[in-house]
Chain A
Amino acid sequence: MAELLQYFMLFLIVLMLALALFAVKTKDLLSAVIASGFISLVASIVYLYLQAPDVAMTEAAIGAGITTLIFVITVRKTKGKEK
């Protein structure tokens, strides 16, 4: 059971890396913002596994919620495409 959880964590970390690469490489800024919000959500699960529930809460509320919204608004105010 514990081993299964460790493989799940490994999957989550690889997922975070892949999303980060996607956020850097994509030309569509809205997709990049959504990807970075998703990274925060996955990171909060990893924090919970590492027994830091305080940090996990902050990460989920601020990283996945408020920061994503602020970036989405900013993308709407600007052009939304990378040159």
Chain B
Amino acid sequence: MRKIVAIIFLTIVGLYMLSLFAQIPFGKPYKGVSEHYVEKGIEENRGSNLVTSIVVNYRGFDTLGEVTVLFLAATGLSFLLFSCKCLREFKRIRSSLVLRTATDTLFPLILVFGAYIFIHGHLTPGGGFQGGSVIASGVMLLFLAYRKFHVNHKALSTLESLAGISFAGIGLLGLLYAKSFLANSVLPLGQWNKLFSAGVIPLIYIAVGFKVGAELSGLIADMISTTKED
């Protein structure tokens, strides 16, 4: 009985998906809103990285949602880990000289590279999410190399909240000074392919970079400092 129900259900879902996908032309340019982005995107936003223009400006509200999802995931993880009884101070294994020396050399470079990625998000590939995760992987390296390394959770969560508030605040400024939430007409657009261009897009991506970096670093810190050692 259950199998018959499952087969009927799967058939209905499959037919529905088939009828949807059959309408999408395969291998041909799909006429839709994407054409407008490709043709007018650079003119409207003055950012030479079109992906960033779409992610932060045209689909800015979705990005705010994504950042919120990440925040909820990190909060949920730390809630789960701190409510269980497995939290205790622990002894980490002493790492090798090679790892420690490499970390000393590489950590500042990784930090600068992450900052470069999210500051130049509107010019070169990458952006807030990528830069933030690069910074978090640098913090991960510090955790691996040094036994006594700790992060200040209060400072991290303060930074994270400030970044989130500034993202939403920039959106509200758009609502105040232009006609829509997250509108890109608060700041002058500037000249194409310059660092100070593309209006609020770099500001939003810097905020996203700080937020993602702080969140992922806090997540790694939570995971590592609740590891049971025996």
Task: Verify if A77 is at the interface (C-beta below 8 Å from B).
Answer: yes
Cβ of B174 to closest chain A Cβ, rounded Å: 24
**Chain B nearest Cβ from A81, distance in angstroms:** 16
A46 at the interface (CB under 8 A from B): no
Write out the residue numbers on chain B whose beta carbons fall within 8 Å of the beta carbon of A53.
125-126
Interface size on B, residues (CB 8 A): 20
Taking A69-B220, A70-B220, A70-B223 as contacts, is the C-beta distance between A54 and B136 under 8 angstroms? no
Q: Which of B86, B134, B219, B223 contacts A61 (CB 8 A)?
A: B134
List the B residue with the shortest CB-CB distance to A62: B133
A27 within 8 A of B: no
Contact of A73 among B86, B125, B227 (CB under 8 A): B227
B134 CB to closest chain A CB (Å) equals 5
Chain A residues near B134: list those with CB within 8 A. 57, 61
CA distance A57 to B127 in the complex (A): 9
Residues of B within 8 A of A76 (CB): 227
Please tell me if A17 contacts chain B, counting CB pairs below 8 Å: no
Q: CB-CB contacts of B191-230 with A at 8 A, as 1s and 0s?
A: 0000000000000000000000000100110011001100
The binding surface of chain A is classed by DSSP as: helix
Q: How many A-B Cβ pairs are below 8 Å?
A: 44
- A57: chain B residues at CB < 8 Å are 117, 125-126, 130, 134
Contact (Cβ within 8 A) A58 B220 = no
- A66 located at the interface, meaning its Cβ lies under 8 Å from any Cβ of chain B in the complex: yes
Q: Which residues of A contact B220 (CB under 8 A)?
A: 66, 69-70
Q: A61-B134, A66-B136, A69-B220 are in contact. Are A54 and B125 (CB under 8 A)?
A: yes
**Could you tell me the distance between the alpha carbons of A38 and B130 in the complex, rounded to whole angstroms?**
19
Q: Which residues of A contact B (CB under 8 A)?
A: 53-54, 57-58, 61-62, 65-66, 69-70, 73-74, 76-77
**19 A-B Cβ contacts within 8 A?**
A53-B125, A53-B126, A54-B127, A54-B130, A57-B134, A58-B130, A61-B133, A61-B136, A65-B140, A66-B140, A66-B216, A66-B220, A69-B220, A69-B223, A70-B219, A73-B223, A74-B223, A77-B86, A77-B227
B interface residue numbers (CB < 8 A to A): 51, 86, 117, 125-127, 129-130, 133-134, 136-137, 140, 216, 219-220, 223-224, 227-228
